[in-house]
Structure 1
Amino acid sequence: MRSTLTRNVCRRLLAHQAPLSCPAIAASSVVRPQLRHPRSIVRRPSRRTFFGLFQKPPRELKEVTPEPGYETLINFRACEAQGHRQPPREDLLQGFRIFFQHKLRYHKAVNSTQALLAVGLFRYLARTDGEQLSLQDLRTARDALLKPPKQISEGHLELVKALYEQIRALSLATGSAETVQETDGQTVGGEASAEDFKSYITSLTLYGGSVDAAAGLEEYWRDLQASGSVYKGAKFLWVLVLRGLAREGREDELVQLYEKAEKLGVEYMPAVHEVMVTFFATRDRIEETKRWFEKPMYGNWLPLPETYREVLRFAVRNAQEDWVNPIFHQLRATKPSKPLWDIIFQWAVLCQNAGPEDLRPIIQSATFHNKTKRDETLITPDIATMNDLVSAAIEKKDPYLAERFISFGASFSISPNSRTYLLQTDYRISASDLSGASAAYQSLETQYITDDEDLPVVNKYIRALCAAPVPNTDLILDVTRQIEHRGATLEPETVVSLCLVFLKLDQEFEVIDTLTVHTTNFSLEERAQVERAFVAYCLDKTHSTARVWDGYTLLRQFFPESPAQDRLSLMDAFFARRRPDMAAHVFGHMRAAANPAQRPDADAYVRVFEGFGGLAQPDPESLRMVHNMLKMDTTVSPDTRLYNALMIAYLGCGEAGKAYEFWAEITASREGPTYRSLEIVFRVCEAMPWGDRKARDIWGKMARMDLDVPGSVFSAYCGAIAGQGRVEEVRKLIGGMGEADVLTLGVAYNALPGSQLQEEFEEWAQREYPEIWARLLKKGRKKSRIDNISKFNIVRELKA
């Protein structure tokens, strides 16, 4: 049975005029007209025959449900947007609880759309009477937000602040009995625990609110100092905020906050040192990096391993080996700890070009020097050491060296772990060794993975499989099934790669399964990324019309929020493919959209009618279908431009008489005709029987009004007269102007209804305007398929 979950979720979430600007098509209420030839992605029911009893059952599509509680958030937003009655309060509370409990339990990030929905529901619950969320509920939601998604939003920041406000208020109301106590029992202003404040500060820095976090921390710190209650670990709050400012790239605020922290008694400890050095090192700011690294630290502590690692990378990128080498030589002399020895080995690889055999004596030296340390176990290389060496080889872009280090580890009887196989898969993909990457990935499957640490590499692996000249779909499906079994979600780029491969191989059911499983819980931004890829696929002229229609059908089913501009582009593409019936249905789907923002406006109607006007093979049936949509559309008032477009459309579909009827509408309107109207109506008169009479009437009115006539309008009038075979009159018109151009001569020649008349006109034009006629001849001409007479290659594109 076909899964309708994604469509229903989006419909409820994005219906009508929801501020999310991602509306859905109310598919159940839309009449779907049948096309003449389009392929369908829906499997037709098979006929039961005797032999059919032994056939394999039809392919079933995957069913998937959204994350627990998510539908409650969606239902709330849909009811709010439509002005409907909200679900029972207990259902809203329960949905909010289980949604964040699920996120926290399975370490899943809250995406931007979910955050926006959650903050809306939270505000509603807080401002209305009835049962409220408990302190534990609030802290669960807060803790779930400590794992940020790739794309953060204002909704995240707003939810973080709203939760903390409520935690403070509830902590104050219930007293200290429910607060989470620190080791020393400190609380924030008697309202919330120190753990609550730390989590709040951490959340702010994760979602772009580090400036607010800095202001709140300064006030909080002064209160602690004034009361003499600065507790153990409180100084680390400064590190959190400094790290947040560094992550946001706020250099001025970062330096200013450090200076304030220094004045308030926060020492230049290793964690602060790591933030400041890393900020400038990652930006390749050479002088600042050196200055902050060499700045003396409190207590003569050594820098953190992360600082040494970042400085090492900085030195390699910026050719600062001469500066960094003495630092690591000095570090070796201090008999460092095991993590620092691992960084030293990386330095040897990156700056000393050391290989496995070069490192063997260094590792033995490290073991020897640490034998004499008191109260410390013997330091020997382990899998972390080997992984760091492999990472160094990867940074050197030397996969062969990485393989040698893995063998080097085996010589020490060190067994690879999950990170080893992740690194191995990664560098083999980069080296275009898919068979080797597959072997490493199979080994990775035997390892225990925590917190989806393998997903970035697995996504890269799947994309590499999809990019192969001949994709191995069995292997691709095997990998994706394992991801689905874990309940993990692939990245949008990976979903795009999978869908494009399956579309190329006409495996529409696999596309449906991929979209159903992985886009259900995507944010709007992530969905838009996949939607744009489908639009690009449909606009690719190298794909067959049948495949493009399949792609559009999937787009319409799974991305009902697709913006009007994208749908108009698809409509234009079908016109370009000479499939006006498909273009008309794309437009009809827009017309039936639930969200007014997705429905066609006057410009869209003009665009579709111009499309009908440019057809080589007219389709009056589809044109009438769209025209009827306009008649029923109370939101669009026809104006001159729209009537111009209707004239163009009916003219293009071979109904010049019907097209001329709109001229009466234009002349009777308050706006009246434009120069484009005149050009179009003369072109209509050219195609009508006895159209020269109507053209003369219009021309006479123009003469009485003493209008300045553009060349394009005059050329169209000449075509209207020539269309009835009035050669002599056309010659007089052109001669009376005193000047002629290529367009005028070409239009008049093409409009003449017989080869004898064209020859007569050509003799005259060659005699009177030899240079212009010579330029016209350069454009070339060919026999018309319709009336078998010559036509110059002149493009007469009519625009409303």
Structure 2
Amino acid sequence: MPPLPPKSLHQHVAHLWNWRRGTHPRTRRSIHRDVITIGQLSRYLNDQIGRPPENEELVEAFCGIVEAHEGSIIVDDYAYGLLKVYEHVGSLPVESMRNALSVVYRGATENQVLLARAMFSGLRGSPEKGTLVDGDVVMIVHMLSRTGNSAEALEVAEDFSAKLTSLESERVVWEKVLEGFSSEGNEEVLLRTWEKLEKSKMEMDPKLCAPLVALYCEKGELDSAKMWYQRVVESGTGPTASAYVEIIKACLSTRNYAWGSEIVDTLLGEGGKLHMGKEAWDVVLRWYLALGADPEKMDELLDMMAQRAEEVEVLPSPEMATINGLLRSGMVVVGPSFPFEDFLLIADRRGFNYDRTSFELKLEHKINQGNTEEALATYEDLKTESIPRRYHATEVKHLLRHLCAQPTLDREAIQTIYADLLDWDVRLDVGTLCPLLHILLEGCSFKEVINLLTRESPSNHEKSRIIAQMISHISSSGTSIEAAWDTYQILYQVFPETTVHQRTTLMSLFFDLGRSDMGVMVFQHMRQTRKRKPLKYTYRAALLGVAINRDLEALRVIHNALKLDCQFDPDTRLLNSLMTAYAACGMPTRTMEIWEDIRRSVQGPDHESVAIALDACSRIPKGIRQAQVLWGQLRAAGYQFTAGDYAAYVEALGRNGKWDEGWRIAKEMKGEGVEPDVRL
């Protein structure tokens, strides 16, 4: 066994002061004082506030909380609090530790497991002789095997199974260990453990084969499963009902109808030998559905189920929940073509009343069939049932998505269903919210869009999908500029999480649409945010957008912002964009001033800078001389001209009527090893 949990665990339990939360209703009043006592310990241990209660008080609080949860499972927060008490006090009454183990061993959280380990360790280490009893070992092995700690459960079983006073306890312990390795899919250790048991003096129980059958059924290795099943059969006692269930499930998934039919017949033929629970009957009904059984056959099986329930009171009788399970299985096995109404008539013949689940299943079936009219009628039936608090409304949300996807929209029905969901306090998942949002955006119902987005309060993950959808709508060719701008305004106000990249995309879109005023506004919105400031590529995109629109006023706004931005120093690529914008706005002289800044910079000009400068020179009155000087300077400096550079210079010469010189420069290209391009 591992040592006790370290005292360095850093989990606060100060919220145990809020003693009403997570407490069993009948114990709220009785454990109020106990929880406050543990809360005081928590504040002392975690925050060094105050003094810890006396050990006697802590032991009393421990025993009180455990006693109050008798017959139930203690919640995770209390499990941690009790663990801290045990660590602080150091020892507890034996019966209190045993009782604590009994209220925690069926749990599965980390703190519940830690408390169970601590209690078992305390019991086994108690100085009192005979402290550890069979039930203690059974409980800890049961918990460890269920929570992925089968190797640890095996250690306990090896240490204590031979000391157990009851043969039944020993069998249960080993059964739980084997079940744990089976559920973890650990075939090697499972087989090794089973073989070790077989060689021991312990009388083998057929139940011990069930985990092996379950393992191979889960893996789909039916030949191996069949081998272990035969060993159980040959023992003369027969498998358990759970083993039959696992085999039938595996036969369904692998479509092994031959062996599966044999198993089902054997299971049903066992009669009084096996007590078939709800899970066993559900899988048998699903089996016959897979074989294409009709409602009459299902009626026969339900008669058999009812007869066995009369013979043994603890067995389940057919009820509406049974029919609902049958309908659900039929929808899964058969699909949209499942004759839902024919099987629903089984409930009518037996006098069962439909419930909310029945209508939910019917609603789902009609949606899957694409029968919108009957789906809406079924929805009206569903609303006559009592709607519980925290209703999941899975099928209703599916209906809403279905209506939003129809070519002809029934806006009234969509609005009604959404209003019902609001009345039921149902929050829309992103998969439902997005189709509804799409409908509202398409209809330019922007007030409703704002209400929808603010009311639903989507999570961060959901926000990313919604933002992407709104950007897609803005970018759609079918969206008018006005609608695109209104949608952007909502996006800007409701979702400050919109990234710089996404905002830059929208800014460029408005520039491309010829609305530089909108593009500049998006840019300004970025500047006004704290965490979404424009980056270098944002400035480049804005300047190129300004160039497309030849908007000098917008250019001044962007350039002034760049001068004031202390995030970075402009590099050559950014200054090239600024040159392009000034040249496009008819200010070639300003362009050449920026060229001089680039030329004096550490990074220096690139080929794009040269081409822009040559073009700007040609647009200045008598500037061709400046272009010729620049060309000569670059050549003297050993600059390697590209086809783009030649094209820009020849264009500048041609624009100023110097055709002969332009022709001469063009002919020189090949001598310099540069191939002419289409532009030249």
TM-score category of the 2 structures, normalised to the smaller one = 0.7 to 0.9
- Name which of structure 1's ranges 424-433 and 124-133 shifts more when overlaid on structure 2: 124-133
Tell me, yes or no, if structure 1 residue 472 matches structure 2 residue 410.
Answer: yes
Tell me, yes or no, if structure 1 residue 441 matches structure 2 residue 404.
Answer: no
Cα offset, 1:448, TM superposition:
3.4
What is the aligned partner in structure 1 of residue 535 from structure 2? 601
Separation in 2 of the partners of 1:711 and 1:330?
85
Separation in 2 of the partners of 1:102 and 1:579?
57
Deviations 1:585-605 (A, max 9, x none): 22222222222xx32222332
Query: Please, which of 344, 359, 363 is the counterpart of residue 284 of structure 2?
Result: 344
What is the SS of the residue equivalent to 1:689?
Answer: coil
Separation in 2 of the partners of 1:501 and 1:386?
37
Deviations 1:255-282 (A, max 9, x none): 57867997899x999899689948964x
Q: Which has the higher contact order (CA 8 A, sep 6+)?
A: 1
Amino acid corresponding to residue 284 of structure 2 in structure 1: I
What is the aligned partner in structure 2 of residue 675 from structure 1? 607
Amino acid corresponding to residue 627 of structure 2 in structure 1: A
Cα offset, 1:662, TM superposition:
0.8
Amino acid corresponding to residue 584 of structure 1 in structure 2: V
Tell me, yes or no, if structure 1 residue 611 matches structure 2 residue 545.
Answer: yes
What is the aligned partner in structure 2 of residue 570 from structure 1? 506
Deviations 1:678-719 (A, max 9, x none): 122223334443332222121111111122211111111212
Separation in 1 of the partners of 2:503 and 2:23?
35
Query: Please, which of 417, 422, 425 is the counterpart of residue 360 of structure 2?
Result: 422
Query: Please, which of 632, 642, 653 is the counterpart of residue 710 of structure 1?
Result: 642
What is the SS of the residue equivalent to 1:541?
Answer: coil
Q: Which has the larger radius of gyration?
A: 2
Distance 1:259 1:662, change over 3 A: farther
Separation in 2 of the partners of 1:623 and 1:507?
34
Amino acid corresponding to residue 241 of structure 1 in structure 2: T
Deviations 1:764-785 (A, max 9, x none): xxxxxxxxxxxxxxxxxxxxxx
Q: Which runs of 5+ in 2 are unaligned?
A: 1-12, 26-41, 70-74, 126-130, 152-180
Separation in 2 of the partners of 1:601 and 1:540?
26
Tell me, yes or no, if structure 1 residue 383 matches structure 2 residue 320.
Answer: yes
Separation in 1 of the partners of 2:103 and 2:542?
60
Separation in 1 of the partners of 2:205 and 2:415?
52
Cα offset, 1:504, TM superposition:
0.8
Separation in 2 of the partners of 1:459 and 1:329?
41
Deviations 1:79-127 (A, max 9, x none): xxxxxxxxxxxxx978x9779949999xxxxxxxxxxxxxxxxx99985
What is the SS of the residue equivalent to 2:339?
Answer: helix
Query: Please, which of 193, 199, 202 is the counterpart of residue 109 of structure 2?
Result: 202
Amino acid corresponding to residue 320 of structure 2 in structure 1: I
What is the aligned partner in structure 1 of residue 35 from structure 2? none
Distance 1:363 1:285, change over 3 A: same
CA RMSD of the aligned region, Å? 4.6
What is the aligned partner in structure 1 of residue 576 from structure 2? 644
Separation in 2 of the partners of 1:332 and 1:672?
88
Alignment of 1:379-528 (within 5 A): 380-395=317-332, 396-450=334-388, 452=390, 454-519=392-457, 522-528=458-464
Deviations 1:162-220 (A, max 9, x none): 9976652255447999x9x9xx74369xxx76645754x33689xxxxxxx7x998898
Distance 1:333 1:102, change over 3 A: closer
What is the aligned partner in structure 2 of residue 44 from structure 1? none
Amino acid corresponding to residue 385 of structure 1 in structure 2: T
Distance 1:167 1:365, change over 3 A: closer
Tell me, yes or no, if structure 1 residue 362 matches structure 2 residue 301.
Answer: yes
Separation in 2 of the partners of 1:125 and 1:564?
46
Cα offset, 1:491, TM superposition:
0.7
Amino acid corresponding to residue 706 of structure 1 in structure 2: G
Contact persistence 2:102–2:139 (CA under 8 A): no
Distance 1:124 1:648, change over 3 A: farther
Amino acid corresponding to residue 546 of structure 2 in structure 1: F
Distance 1:714 1:609, change over 3 A: same
Tell me, yes or no, if structure 1 residue 699 matches structure 2 residue 610.
Answer: no
What is the SS of the residue equivalent to 1:606?
Answer: helix
Distance 1:543 1:203, change over 3 A: farther
Q: Which runs of 5+ in 1 are unaligned?
A: 1-91, 106-122, 144-159, 206-212, 749-800
Distance 1:284 1:710, change over 3 A: farther
Distance 1:727 1:277, change over 3 A: farther
Cα offset, 1:723, TM superposition:
2.1
Question: How many residues in Structure 1 have an aligned counterpart in Structure 2?
Answer: 586
Cα offset, 1:228, TM superposition:
2.5
What is the aligned partner in structure 1 of residue 517 from structure 2? 581
What is the SS of the residue equivalent to 1:186?
Answer: helix
Tell me, yes or no, if structure 1 residue 550 matches structure 2 residue 550.
Answer: no
What is the aligned partner in structure 1 of residue 147 from structure 2? 241
Contact persistence 1:564–1:600 (CA under 8 A): yes
Amino acid corresponding to residue 97 of structure 2 in structure 1: Q
Query: Please, which of 216, 228, 238 is the counterpart of residue 132 of structure 2?
Result: 228
Contact persistence 1:648–1:680 (CA under 8 A): yes
Contact persistence 2:328–2:361 (CA under 8 A): yes
Contact persistence 1:277–1:292 (CA under 8 A): no
Separation in 2 of the partners of 1:175 and 1:319?
57
What is the aligned partner in structure 1 of residue 470 from structure 2? 534
Contact persistence 2:618–2:652 (CA under 8 A): yes
Cα offset, 1:337, TM superposition:
3.1
What is the aligned partner in structure 1 of residue 97 from structure 2? 186
Amino acid corresponding to residue 526 of structure 2 in structure 1: M
What is the SS of the residue equivalent to 2:455?
Answer: helix
TM score, norm. by length of structure 1: 0.63
Cα offset, 1:746, TM superposition:
5.3
TM score, norm. by length of structure 2: 0.73
What is the SS of the residue equivalent to 2:331?
Answer: helix
Identical residues among aligned pairs (%):
21
Amino acid corresponding to residue 381 of structure 1 in structure 2: P
